[in-house]
Structures are given as C-alpha cells and as structure tokens.
Amino acid sequence: MLLINLTPGGPDGGSAGQHFIRDFLILHYRLTQREDSPLWRHCAAMEIPHTLQYKIDHFLRYGRLVTEGMEPFGNQCWLAVHIGQLNWPERHDP
C-alpha cells in the first residue's frame, strides 16, 4: 500500500484544504536522504501529488516558497522542512 493512499483524500486530495496537510506530510518523506531500508528508498522514489511537485520544483529552481492563500502551514514551516532535509535551492530569485 502506498503512503499517499493513506493520507486524507488519497492521491487526489480529498475535501477542501486537506491536500495542504497531505502535501506537507509527504514532503518530509519525499526529501529524506535516508536509504538504509526499503521504506526510505520507496519514499524517495514514490509518486507524489502534482501540487507538491510544483512546490518542490519552484523551491529548487528559484528559492521561492509557493502558497495558495490560507494554508495551515506557513512559509517558515515549509522552509524548515526543505532546509532540514538539506533540500537547498539551485539559485535565489532576486
């Protein structure tokens, strides 16, 4: 069973707002540097929602955090996960 299927609403996000929580939780697993067990290798390679992939790509390319209005986790939370998992941007956007 895939981790994404256990999150609220499954891979499609569910009811309004739940996809923010789903994406934030999956981000922790997706960005891990661990490779010491099948679980961590799976998490690093698993398919993720397009909403989260967009946020990750934008941060990597431009150093920007993308939000969609009233999200339950602020930019400081997203930044803490990115930096805490050693996911540094390739460049910054002036």
Rg, C-alpha atoms of the chain: 13
Angle at 90 between CA 29 and CA 66, to 5 degrees: 60
Tally of domains in the chain:
1
Residues whose CB falls within 8 Å of the CB of residue 28, separated by 6 or more in sequence, listed in order: 81, 85
In the block, residue with structure tokens 């400081």: 76
Q: Amino acid identity of 34?
A: R
The pLDDT of residue 69 is 78
In the block, residue with structure tokens 């993308």: 66
The pLDDT of residue 78 is 95
Token pair, residue 1, equals 């069973």
Range of the structural domain that residue 72 is part of: 18-84
Domain contains 69: yes
Domain contains 70: yes
Give whichever of 3-12, 17-26, 66-75, 79-88 has the largest mean pLDDT.
79-88
